[in-house]
Amino acid sequence: MLFRFTFDTRAAPEQVVGAFTDVSDRRLTVWRRTLDPAKYEVREAGDRWAVVREGSAGTRIWVLLRYEWSEPGTIRWTLIDSDHCRRGRGEVVVAARPDGGSRVDATIDHGAPRGLRGRVILLGQRVVGPVAFPRLWRTALDELATTPA
C-alpha cells in the first residue's frame, strides 16, 4: 500500500521536524489524537535515529518503526515489525513556505499484509489514509505552532 499526500501547516519547519523526531513523552502530547500512550515505547534512541513502538488510539494496531533524520528536513522510517504487515517504509520532507509555515510532503508504503486482518487494515488505510493522515497531522502541527515554546 503506497500513498502520498502534501499539506501546508502554520508550524515552522523546525517545529515540524521536532514533532516527528522528539521521542520524549512530549510526543504523546503533540500527537495525542493519534498515539495511544499504552502502546508507546522508545526501544532505542541516538542523536539522529530512534526505534519506537507506536499504536493508534482507539485501535489494536501497533507498529515498531526505526526513524532516521540525518538529512535536514527529512524524516524516514522503516517498519521493523507490526501486528498487520511484514514490511514498510515512509518519508516526510519538510520545506519552508514563502509566506511562513511549512509544506509537508509524505510518502507511506506499508505492504505485505499479515493475514486477512492485515489486508483489511491496509485496505482501510489506503481508502481513509490519504484524507485522514493529512488532516490529523495538520491539526497537530497547527496546534504546535500556536503553543508557546
Instruction: Please write the tens of the pLDDT for every residue from 4-44.
Output: 999 999 999 999 999 999 999 999 999 999 999 999 999 99
CATH number at 21 reads 3.30.530.20
CA 30, 31, 36, 38 dihedral sign is negative
CB 91 within 8 A of CB 74: yes
Contacts of 76 (CB under 8 A, 6+ apart): 67, 68, 69, 89, 90, 91, 92
Angle between helices 115-146 and 13-21 (to 10 degrees): 140
Domain that holds residue 42: 2-146
Q: Is the pLDDT of residue 147 over 80?
A: yes
Cα dihedral angle (99, 143, 42, 93), rounded to 10 degrees?
A: -20
The residue count of the chain comes to: 149
Identify whether the C-beta of residue 113 lies closer than 8 Å to the C-beta of residue 122. yes
Count of H-run helices and E-run strands, the chain: 3, 7
Number of domains in the chain: 1
Rounded to two decimals, the pTM is 0.93
pLDDT for 63-121, tens place per residue? 999 999 999 999 999 999 999 999 999 999 999 999 899 999 999 998 789 899 999 98
